[in-house]
Amino acid sequence: MSLSAFSSLPDEARLWLLALAQPAEASVLAPEMDALLGRWRHKGTQYQAAWTLLEHRILAIAEPILATQPSGCAIDGMLRGVNQIAAKSGLALEDPQAVIVRLADGIRAVSRADVEARLVDGTLDGSTPVLDLALLTLGDLRGGRLERPLAATWIGRKYFKPVSSGT
């Protein structure tokens, strides 16, 4: 996973992770994403964002100013632009509520409503890698926190009983 696009940004930079519904090449998104982030400004603030496409499915955008000076309007504008770029490129974004997992055949989205059924049928288990798209900082991504075993996520807390020590 190359994070070289973020080399000039601090670990504290605010991070957004969005899953594409199907694999894509960064080159398909590059002209539009570069233009969007190059003109991203709000109320006189020019944002200093960078982006990359991880594993052909996860669009990662980082920006340092918004970590300390958040602006919901600026973030909403950027996210609207990303949705427009995806649509223009013939791509779709996954439902933000979907659980993104790594299976033997690649990265897949599982709707929250289907998680329990996938646990029962064995598609998912406690060791299934889950990609945490809720990471907030670039440092979290750099620190390897993108992927965790399902048992260590909210799904594990909901569906797996803690092991008693027997004391």
State the pLDDT at residue 165. 55
- So what's the pLDDT on residue 2? 77
pTM of the prediction? 0.90
* Domain range summary for the chain, segments of one domain joined by +: 12-88, 99-159
Write the CA distances from 4 to 23, 50, 87, integer angstroms.
20, 10, 26
Coil/strand/helix, residue 61: strand
Question: What is the predicted pLDDT for the residue at 160?
Answer: 84
Residue 116: predicted pLDDT: 95
98 DSSP assignment: S
Q: Which DSSP letter does residue 134 get?
A: T
For position 87, what pLDDT does the model report? 94
Which pLDDT score is estimated for 1?
Answer: 64
Residue 164: per-residue pLDDT: 53
Half-sphere exposure in the Cβ direction for 120 (13 Å, CA)? 5
Contact 63, 44 (CB under 8 A): no
pLDDT at 163: 56
Kindly give the parts of the chain with pLDDT less than 70. Answer: 1, 162-167
Torsion 42-11-152-102 (CA) sign: positive
The pLDDT assigned to 32 comes to: 96
The pLDDT value given to residue 65 = 94
